[in-house]
Amino acid sequence: MGSSAVKPIGKTGVVAALGAMSGTSLDGVDAAIVHTDGHVIKGFGPSSYRGYTAAERTEIAAGFGKWSGPEVEAAARVVEAAHLEILSRFEGVDVIGFHGQTLAHAPRLQGTLQVGDGAVLASQLGTPVVWDFRSADVQLGGEGAPLAPFFHHACAVYAGLSAPVAFLNLGGVGNLTWVDPRVARPETGGALLAFDTGPANAPINDLMQARLGQTYDKDGALAMKGIVEQGALELFLAEPYFARMPPKSLDRNDFSEMIALVGELSDSDAAATLTAMCAAGVAEAMQHCPSVPARVLVTGGGRHNPVLMQMLAVSLDCPVAPIEDIGLDGDMLEAQAFGYLAVRVARGLPTSCPGTTGVRAAVGGGTISLL
């Protein structure tokens, strides 16, 4: 990445960065503007959501776990078209952060794969696009995930927090960021610890789709009627992943056998058990935090599930609240994160560090596609 990489938005000053995120839950694409200089957040702009159709979900899901081939190419076309549609709704954007769609993630083996070509988006939208955020981290020995922690640190500072806090994102996979906002720079030792907690919404969504033809358990209504199967929960917690020290990360399908564990249960008991597994993974994760956070702030779709939120409240040793409690938008936080990270990449700032991904040294990933 030469000096030309910083020309589109300059080396200093606040810019309007548009981030886009399509998570492993496959609900759709979130897009949101954040105003930032790559260090501090100055404010937030408009946001939008573009849901995937059932046919689009099926086409993308066919590429899960694959590294190449026609299914991967087809998924990429769907992802690019959906992103072009939603990103074209915005005006006054200086730079776009395009995460793409993760199809496979095995950092110690093949690497990590997010489909969607940022160069295609840049040429079509007439705006510089930063993309392929994870590869450089993996190449330097990192997990390549999670990548939102640097943004979480900026959010804690933006919200005026003065004690350690945890951000818990419950998307397809859960991830936790422990933040000490008293440490000025996110890459400084002691500022951050981040890692994936375990499966979150993905297995619940898969169960709902397979058994009832529904995309998710709205308001936890099905889980609320069920009883948790303790034997299945104990088998889940015996997985070696939970004993591993962070940083660590997961692929969407790493715990696919969870569906088999609840295969003989009724619909409601299966939903309740999978929901309990998500909460139990978080409770295990909290033991790795350097100190008990003042509270856990929940973002992502999981915070809309009252059964899951109640399970977290009773199993954690600190208050649990949706991230809206500090004035942030839990539906758009991941999208905003990649807008923020795009500015950091364009300005030569790190986007991950040993405490967030296990990478050997602080590194700034990302490819920049100019016009």
CB within 8 A of 285, min separation 6: which ones? 174, 176, 195, 197, 198, 246
Task: Assess whether pLDDT exceeds 60 at residue 154.
Answer: yes
C-alpha–C-alpha distance, residues 56 and 59, integer Å? 5
Does the pLDDT value for residue 219 go beyond 80?
yes
pLDDT at 2: 32
**Is residue 4 scored above 70 in pLDDT?**
no
Instruction: Identify any residues that bridge with 344 across adjacent strands, giving them in sequence order.
Output: none
Bridge partners (DSSP) of residue 176 are 168, 195
Class of 160-326 per CATH? alpha beta
Say yes or no to pLDDT of 18 above 90: yes
> What are the E-state strand segments in 137-206?
165-170, 173-179, 192-199
What does the pLDDT look like over 61-84, one tens digit per residue? Answer: 999 999 999 999 999 999 999 999
Where are the CATH 3.30.420.40 domain residues in the chain? 3-146+331-355+362-369, 160-326
Q: What pLDDT is attached to residue 26? A: 85
**Closest C-alpha among 68, 81, 74 to residue 29:** 81
Report the pLDDT averaged over residues 175-200: 96
365: confidence class by pLDDT, cuts 50, 70, 90: confident
- Average pLDDT estimate for 130-142: 95
**Residue 205, both tokens:** 């969504």
* Residues paired with 103 in a beta bridge: none
Q: Across all residues in the chain, what is the average pLDDT? A: 94
Please write the tens of the pLDDT for every residue from 271-307.
999 999 999 999 999 999 999 999 999 999 999 999 9
User: Which CA distances in Å does 93 have to 14, 123, 237, 296?
Assistant: 12, 14, 45, 32
Q: In this predicted model, what pLDDT tens digit does every residue of 244-261 receive, in sequence order?
A: 999 898 877 788 888 889
Q: Which CATH superfamily is domain 3-146+331-355+362-369 in?
A: ATPase, nucleotide binding domain (3.30.420.40)
Per-residue pLDDT for 217 more than 80?
yes
pTM value is: 0.94
| DSSP letters for 191-241 | SEEEEEEEE-HHHHHHHHHHHHS-SS-GGGHHHHT----HHHHHHHHTSGG
DSSP-derived letter for residue 107 is T
Q: Amino acid identity of 214? A: Q
Given this model, what pLDDT does residue 25 score? 78
Q: What is the dihedral of CA 221, 284, 330, 117, to 10 degrees?
A: -110
Give the pLDDT band of residue 1 (cuts 50, 70, 90).
very low
What does the pLDDT read at residue 23? 85
306: enclosing H helix or E strand: helix 306-315
The share of the chain scoring above pLDDT 70, in percent, equals 98
Query: pLDDT at position 167, please?
Result: 98
| 3-class SS shares of the chain: helix, strand, coil, % to 5 | 40, 20, 40
Contact between 345 and 364 (Cβ < 8 Å) = yes
List, for residues 83-111, the tens digit of each pLDDT value: 999 999 999 999 999 999 999 999 888 89
